[in-house]
Amino acid sequence: PAVKSRVVHVRNIPLDTSEHDLIQLSAPFGRVTNCLILRGKSQAFVEFLDFQSAQQMVNFWLSSTLQGIPSPMQPNIRGRHVFCQLSNHKELKTNGFHQNGGNDHQMAADGQSSPGVQNGVSREPSCVLRVIVENLMYSVTLEVLHSVFSRAGKVAKIVTFTKNGSFQALIQFMDGRDAAAAKQLLDGQNLFHPNANTLRIEFSKLQALNVKYNNDKSRDYTNPALPHTNGPPHDVMPDQLMSSLMTSQQQQQQSPQQLFPAFAVNNQALRALNPIHALSALQSHQSLGQLGAHLGLGGMGNGMSASIASAVLLVSNLNESTTTTDALFTLFGVYGDVIRVKILFNKKDNALIQMAEPAQAQLAQTYLDKVKLSGRVIRVTPSKHQLVQMPKEGQHDAGLTKDFSSSALHRFKKPGSKNFGNIYPPSATLHLSNIPQTVQEEDIRGAFTRETAAPVVNFKFFPKDRKMALIQLQNVDDAIHALIKMHNYQLSESSHLRVSFSKSSI
């Protein structure tokens, strides 16, 4: 609209939408001063203190659709996609908002809430977040949590555990404002899949974590010298451990004002956050007015440049003589469904890889950045491109661009696939599956040695399922090469080998 409006019109809201839901959606963009919900029309209006904030919100959410198609980043309330646009109304005129509960709403907009502790969860801000992963379909590792949450700021410590049948984590930030920013933008978002691994985030009653061991269940990033030992069982969280997490700092009650000064409009508290399937926010000290134009996957890293969160990765420092589109498809396909691969015509040690969704791109970057491929340490970073273009008709491409969108080798196209629960970093040990009963150990060893020219160190069939086995190469580099060569290798007339990285060694 030509007029400058402080009001954002939100359409397609659920019937049970609350003012708190609207504030959660709107607060990162500025101070919310009024709300109006029209339940019969599934619409709502949000009024900001100034028109710039309203424009920022609209610009940001408009940028979350690609070519008019809703993306996983589209705004949602209670799991339902909503649509935002500037209203023709310059301001809202409703009764009672400022007089009745206005302070409560402003508290919510400021990232604050009334004091109190229930069931280990605090309404009062803390440097420690309690994260519950609901509808857990795909495994969540400590590394993934660190990668996601560290984009809000510096993560100091993480402890993971299972309690009451649900996977949970306690995540401590160095700065409480960063913890609040992470809660604001990650709460309710999903990891790996739009309908699974939903993050529920609250402030913990703990003010600090006491981590004694650095292992796959707990990590103190401020003290890498801690010993590595088997942590407590993943399926328990004994009271003793909960008690050990408590420190004297917990007793030092800090008010929201002390911990989060003016959080709602404090740009420093919204630095560089880009959750999977969620938002990207700003670099530290960046103007909120730049929000719509400065988003990006950025490896979900601090200080990123960028555009809309992208499913496209830039892979550099490739070995030009050995790299092919099929090899990149196979390797990156371990972490998501690869749609297209383009090796750059004028710079063949670089390639663009388009994954099915930004979450998968982030996962691939997390695990494949700085691995060695064909003797070269590759770099994997988010691309500024939103998709990989196929060559125009008649355009000479030398076969450097390939579309894999219809490939039968996609590992994750089936919702709830077990493959989502078996994603691990590159290792010297590979997991083999789909082995026919007629194939013997010598056959597989021989095929690996023949095809990869790398010696096999060890081999072991699964005791209870001979269709699966583990095979160990000399090092991770050999294993990466072997996975590329041997995934989909034909073992018999009707069986092709499936290869992935293993979490176990032989």
According to DSSP, the residues that pair with 429 across neighbouring strands are 472
How far apart are alpha carbons 98 and 101 in whole angstroms?
A: 7
Residue with tokens 């005791």: 463
Are the C-beta atoms of residues 407 and 336 closer than 8 Å to each other? no
Cα separations in angstroms, 173 against 130, 188, 206: 12, 19, 12
The SS3 assignment for 59 reads helix
pLDDT given at position 118:
46
First to last CA, the chain: 65
Residue with tokens 């229930």: 118
Are the C-beta atoms of residues 369 and 381 closer than 8 Å to each other? yes
Which range among 8-12, 100-104, 175-179, 412-416 shows the weakest confidence by mean pLDDT?
100-104
Domains of the chain: 7-109 (3.30.70.330), 117-288 (3.30.70.330), 312-418 (3.30.70.330), 424-501 (3.30.70.330)
**pLDDT grade, residue 7 (50/70/90)?**
very high
How far apart are alpha carbons 74 and 60 in whole angstroms?
A: 10
Q: Is the pLDDT of residue 70 over 60?
A: no
Are the C-beta atoms of residues 137 and 421 closer than 8 Å to each other? yes
Which range among 95-104, 165-174, 212-221, 296-305 shows the weakest confidence by mean pLDDT?
296-305
Residues 123-180 pLDDT 10s: 567 899 999 999 887 778 888 898 888 877 889 999 999 888 889 999 999 988 788 8
Cα separations in angstroms, 248 against 189, 253, 310, 364: 33, 10, 43, 40
According to DSSP, the residues that pair with 46 across neighbouring strands are 8, 35
Residue with tokens 């809703």: 70
Residue 303 corresponds to which tokens in the numbers above? 């200080």
- Going by C-alpha positions, the residue among 359, 190, 175, 187 that lies closest to residue 284 is 175
According to DSSP, the residues that pair with 352 across neighbouring strands are 314, 342
Q: Is the pLDDT of residue 184 over 90?
A: no
Residue 83 CB neighbour total at 10 angstroms:
16
Average pLDDT estimate for 423-451: 94
Residue 159 corresponds to which tokens in the numbers above? 């402890």
Residues 453-498 pLDDT 10s: 999 999 999 998 899 999 999 999 999 999 999 999 999 988 999 9
How far apart are alpha carbons 352 and 161 in whole angstroms?
A: 37
